[in-house]
């Protein structure tokens, strides 16, 4: 259910997110942040006027989101007036109210094992009912009311992008290409891991042992090996296929790890070459060599 808020052309956008605890407010804020909004969580009510002035003076904050809820002691008493003032100050303000069914909220709190903000000394169900009743008047002034009971996190993300007037394109996904040595362990941050240990090891070539995959002599040696180019070709093609799917799923950072025994020669050379190939696909790429300092 929604109704279009009154907006003044060219005014800074501010989306106020509120609603029931456990209904997805934090996730909505994160999605907005990923697509370029400036987001603030649980700002004290007394600071809202200063926040508004900051928005009006800062062109880079033309789209801002403010999450407010029952964690702020003055929220129930002060919010209706504060929200009216947001609109009166010339901002294109809108209010998104999130809710979910009692059954779903109970399940979510059970899964996360977090106490309900109003259920510290009472069962979660009682906290949910008390909060729902307390927020009824704020719900009545919302521009958009969204019931997230049947939403997965992916569906909620898509809703935010399509229906909350997020505007603009999502920030480009950053691809991290990381070389490492298996003797030091697989990097825990890796999303995809590829093993380059099947390639000939420059460490066994005396003139190359003290060099690294950053050096021209090692690169030349690796390029002359019969399987290096084919490996890079197939790896680049595979990543060219899967990366757009990661982007579509809303992933903002993808870490591709390439390993060899010590993280000095093969993985470094392959990581550099892979980073260069992915940049040619207009991707934002950062190459890092995790274990080069160890060897």
Q: Residue ranges of the domains in the chain?
A: 13-163, 174-289
What mean pLDDT, rounded, does the chain reach? Answer: 86
Contacts of 21 (CB under 8 A, 6+ apart): 69, 70, 105, 116, 117, 118, 127, 128, 131
Is the confidence at residue 170, as pLDDT, over 90? no
Return the CATH number of the domain spanning residue range 13-163. 3.40.50.300
**Extended beta strands in 135-248, E state:** 144-147, 174-181, 192-195
Global model pTM greater than 0.95: no
Distance CA(180)–CA(257), nearest Å, equals 7
pLDDT score of 270: 98
- The predicted-structure confidence for 111-136, as pLDDT tens digits, reads as follows 767 777 776 667 888 888 988 999 99
For 264, the token pair is 């000095």
CB 2 within 8 A of CB 144: yes
What confidence tens digit (pLDDT) does each residue in 242-277 have?
A: 999 888 776 778 999 999 999 999 999 999 999 999
């Amino acid at each position: 259910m929604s109704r279009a808020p009154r907006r003044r052309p060219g005014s800074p956008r501010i989306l106020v997110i509120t609603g029931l605890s456990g209904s997805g407010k934090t996730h909505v804020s994160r999605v907005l942040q990923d697509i370029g909004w400036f987001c603030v969580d649980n700002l004290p009510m007394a600071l809202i006027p200063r926040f508004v002035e900051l928005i009006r003076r800062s062109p880079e904050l033309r789209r801002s989101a403010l999450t407010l809820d029952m964690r702020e002691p003055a929220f129930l008493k002060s919010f209706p007036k504060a929200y009216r003032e947001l609109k009166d100050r010339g901002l294109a303000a809108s209010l998104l109210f999130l809710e979910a069914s009692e059954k779903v909220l109970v399940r979510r709190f059970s899964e996360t094992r977090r106490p309900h903000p109003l259920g510290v000394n009472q069962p979660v169900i009682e906290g949910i009912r008390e909060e729902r009743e307390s927020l009824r008047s704020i719900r009545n002034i919302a521009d958009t009311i969204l019931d997230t009971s049947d939403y997965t996190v992916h569906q909620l993300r898509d809703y935010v992008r399509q229906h909350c007037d997020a505007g603009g394109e999502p920030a480009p996904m950053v691809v991290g290409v990381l070389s490492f040595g298996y003797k030091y362990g697989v990097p825990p941050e890796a999303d995809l891991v590829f093993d380059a240990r099947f390639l000939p090891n420059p460490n066994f070539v005396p003139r190359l042992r003290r060099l690294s995959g950053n050096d021209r002599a090692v690169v030349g040696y690796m390029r002359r090996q019969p399987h290096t180019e084919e490996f890079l070709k197939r790896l680049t093609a595979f990543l060219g296929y899967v990366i757009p799917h990661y982007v579509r799923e809303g992933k903002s950072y993808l870490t591709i790890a390439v390993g060899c025994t010590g993280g000095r020669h093969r993985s470094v050379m392959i990581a550099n070459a892979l980073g260069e190939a992915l940049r040619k696909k207009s991707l934002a790429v950062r190459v890092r060599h995790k274990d080069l300092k160890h060897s």
